[in-house]
Structure 1
Amino acid sequence: MRRYTIALVLSAVLLSPATLADEFSTTDVDRWQGEFDSVAKKGRELWTSGAVGTNGVACAQCHPNAANTHPETYPKFQKQLGKVAQLFEMVNWCIKNPLQGAALPADDPKMTALVAYIHKERKGVAIDAGKH
């Protein structure tokens, strides 16, 4: 009987955090999705406007609809950087080089918006073999 009680208590303790972690409503999910969509919309504005650089070139000129960005493949080796890089580092490479702008910190709201837009735009799109 004692073993059974210990096993029962242990099971309850081990399973309860997982159960509590999954408790959220569809209202929560809708709110979170709305917040993500709002940030991704700001990213699209930055992506298409040329505002992150100094020469008027927009990210969309080379990557319309975030084409060939493949965010799901990061971190990975990037030839341009000569190292294994995160997506934000590649975004910064593009900002500094083709767009002639200043790099953004990884936690800058503009970087968050750009990365959110890339993920939203490319979600569910098949990877093109040999591209980035």
Structure 2
Amino acid sequence: MKLTALILGLLLCGAALPALADEFTEADLKRWEGEYQSVVETGRNLWVSADLGSNGVACAQCHPNAANTHPETYPKFQKQIGKVAELRHMINWCIRNPLEGVDLGFDTPEMLALEAYIAWERRNVPLAPGKH
């Protein structure tokens, strides 16, 4: 009797649960894509502007369309930094050195936008952490 009540209770609880977390509607997917593309666009705008530094240089001057940034290879040993680094460390190195700017916090919307833009430009490239 107790086992039957337990099974019945579990079945009833399961029936009351909302859709599974991986069951997205078309509206969910469109909203997600719109939100993501908005962040990518913010990153692109930062990438092509000289606002990240103090000397009028933009990331796009050395890396048009995020060329030669290879986000798919991070984390990896980065010679300029002298240790294994994440992409955000290299972004800050570039802001601090060639752009003569101030590091971004790793959890800022600007850093997220730059990382999203770089990753978007390299979409469909296989992951290769540690590759030089």
Deviation per residue, 1:61-104 (Å, 9 max, x gap)? 11000001111111111011111111111000000000000000
SS at match of 1:52: coil
* Amino acid in the other structure paired with 1:39: V
Match of 2:99 in 1: 99
CA distance in 2, matches of 1:124, 1:48: 23
- Misfit runs of 4+, over 6 Å: none
CA distance in 2, matches of 1:31, 1:126: 26
Residue 25 (structure 1) aligned with residue 54 (structure 2): no
TM-score, reference length from structure 2: 0.79
Percentage of matched positions with identical amino acids: 63
Question: Structure 1: where are the runs of 5+ without partners?
Answer: 1-8
CA distance in 2, matches of 1:26, 1:75: 34
Instruction: Tell me how far 1:112 sits from its aligned partner.
Output: 0.8
Match of 1:57 in 2: 57
Aligned residue-pair number:
115
TM-score, reference length from structure 1: 0.79
SS at match of 1:77: strand
* Amino acid in the other structure paired with 1:59: C
CA distance in 2, matches of 1:86, 1:125: 17
SS at match of 2:20: helix
Instruction: Tell me how far 1:124 sits from its aligned partner.
Output: 2.3
Residue 116 (structure 1) aligned with residue 126 (structure 2): no
CA distance in 2, matches of 1:27, 1:72: 30
* Amino acid in the other structure paired with 1:36: Y
Which structure dedicates a bigger proportion of its chain to helix? 1
CA distance in 1, matches of 2:122, 2:65: 8
* Amino acid in the other structure paired with 1:68: N
